[in-house]
Amino acid sequence: MNKKALITGITGQDGSYLTEILLDKGYTVHGIIRRSSSFNTGRIDHLYNNQEIYGKRLFLHYGDLVDTSNLNRLLEKIEPDEIYNLAAQSHVKVSFEIPDYTAQVDALGTLRFLDAIREVGLKQVKFYQASTSELYGKAQDIPQTEKTPFYPRSPYGVAKLYGYWIIVNYREAYNLFACNGILFNHESPRRGETFVSRKITRAASRIALGIDEKLILGNLNAKRDWGYAPEYCEGMRMILQHPIPEDFVMATGETHTVREFAELTFGELGINLEWDGKDERERGIIKEIVKTKYDIKNKKLKQGVCVIEVDGRYYRPTEVDLLIGDYTKAKNLLGWEPKVKFDELIKIMIESDYEKVLKRGF
């Protein structure tokens, strides 16, 4: 019999890729979506509008991680073999503004789900928890592994830390097949526009095409280990196929600053930058424009023009300065390894955003 998966956060970046992967493997997929005043299914519309799939092997249900009785009902009705808990208030900066809600969803939401599994009596179900490299926060080791102590630096990180430990506790206390994927940053053309990678690739495209003049960023010195989301979503599935429930780091093993991300992105379009000033006075200025496959339609762009500025309003009260992951365990036990590294990731994202902006004009 084909497996049945239940995905929370199916409308998000990872949820959409994971759905495609599981459908490809022959799963039936049930997804939980939130009621929204505007369309929130853009990332899965191609599946939702496919009559071969929707209503046959893909089903969507309204729900929310803050609604316990809803989770109970859905589990009773669907009886999934595998659950992927990807739903979260996932923005670190926003978590400083809405810490209570972030904890309700990211920490207690995980507990509600685990408890609903016990109440409904789904003894055989396998549970994947979207854990995060934000747990390492003020990193205690370089690189970070499954054994590195945690030191979260935001309400988001702290809420996810609760999620991490409640998974470990339910695994040990009730023998539940529950695993944490400690995933480092992973990006794609489907990444939300307010995360820094997508903010940069989208803005660079808009600047090149003459829609925007400048990109305003926060901390350019932060270093992240950025990978390609579809590969990490395949990793989630692999974690649940491993015979023993365990926690795994998934990362690329490379780290780069936000400044490097911006420099490479503009460079991909043929806009080579140099930097001037420090901290909030730092600016990215055009050094030269060179020919690439992308057409720079904005004729105002020339040597000396400033295209990047820093604004302290994007700084976080406490920052995570450096993340770099060691994925040896995932490689050895699961055979998981990332193929797309930093340069390639930027190429994929800029190609997509340039095309989108060119076609739609936004």
Binding footprint of ligand GDD on the chain (CB under 6 A): 90, 92-93, 132-134, 184-185, 194-197, 199, 217-219, 222, 224, 258, 314, 316, 319-320, 323
DSSP 91-150: -HHHHHHSHHHHIIIIIIHHHHHHHHHHHHT-TT-EEEEEEEGGGTSS-SSSSB-TTSPP
Of 1, 36, 124, 339, the one binding ligand NAP by CB under 6 A = 36
> Judged by CB, which is closer to ligand NAP: 34, or 341?
34
CB of 209 to ligand GDD, least distance (A): 20
Q: Over the Cα atoms of the chain, what is R_g? A: 21
**Which residues, numbered 131-150, are part of the site for ligand NAP (CB under 6 A)?**
132
Nearer to ligand GDD among residue 40 and residue 194 (C-beta)? 194
312 contacts 278 by C-beta, under 8 angstroms: no
- Give phi and psi for 171, each to the nearest 5: -65, -45
Residue 161 CB, nearest approach to ligand GDD (Å): 11
The one catalytic residue among 84, 128, 156, 294: 156
When binding is defined by CB under 6 A, the residue of 47, 86, 120, 251 that contacts ligand NAP is: 86
| Exposure b/e, 227-239, CB count within 10 A at least 16 = b | bbbbbbbbbbbbb
Q: How far apart are CA 88 and CA 101, in angstroms?
A: 10
Provide the minimum distance between the beta carbon of 110 and ligand NAP in the complex, in angstroms, as a whole number.
9
- Tally Cβ neighbours within 10 Å of residue 137: 20
What is the H or E stretch that residue 7 is in?
strand 4-8
Q: Is 288 exposed, middle or buried (0-12, 13-18, 19+ CB in 10 A)?
A: exposed
Catalytic choice (134, 187, 254, 263): 134
Among 4, 5, 15, 329, interactor with ligand NAP by CB under 6 A: 15
- In this chain, which residue has its C-beta nearest to ligand GDD? 222
Q: Which of 8, 110, 132, 148 is catalytic?
A: 132
CA atoms within 13 A on the CB side of 63: 28
Active site annotation includes 162: no
Report yes or no: 279 and 213 within 8 Å, Cβ to Cβ: no
- Beta bridge mates, 207: none
Among 180, 185, 219, 298, binds ligand NAP (CB under 6 A): 185
Q: How far is the CB of 154 from ligand GDD (least distance, A)?
A: 8
Q: Is residue 8 involved in binding ligand NAP (CB under 6 A)? A: yes
Residue 151 falls in the annotated catalytic set: no
Closest distance of CB 218 from ligand GDD, Å: 3
Closest CA relative to residue 265, chosen from 328, 312, 207: 207
Q: Is 145 a catalytic residue?
A: no
Contacts with ligand NAP by CB under 6 A lie at 8-9, 11-15, 32, 34, 36, 40, 64-66, 86-90, 105, 130, 132, 183, 185-186, 192
Residues with a known catalytic role: 132, 134, 156
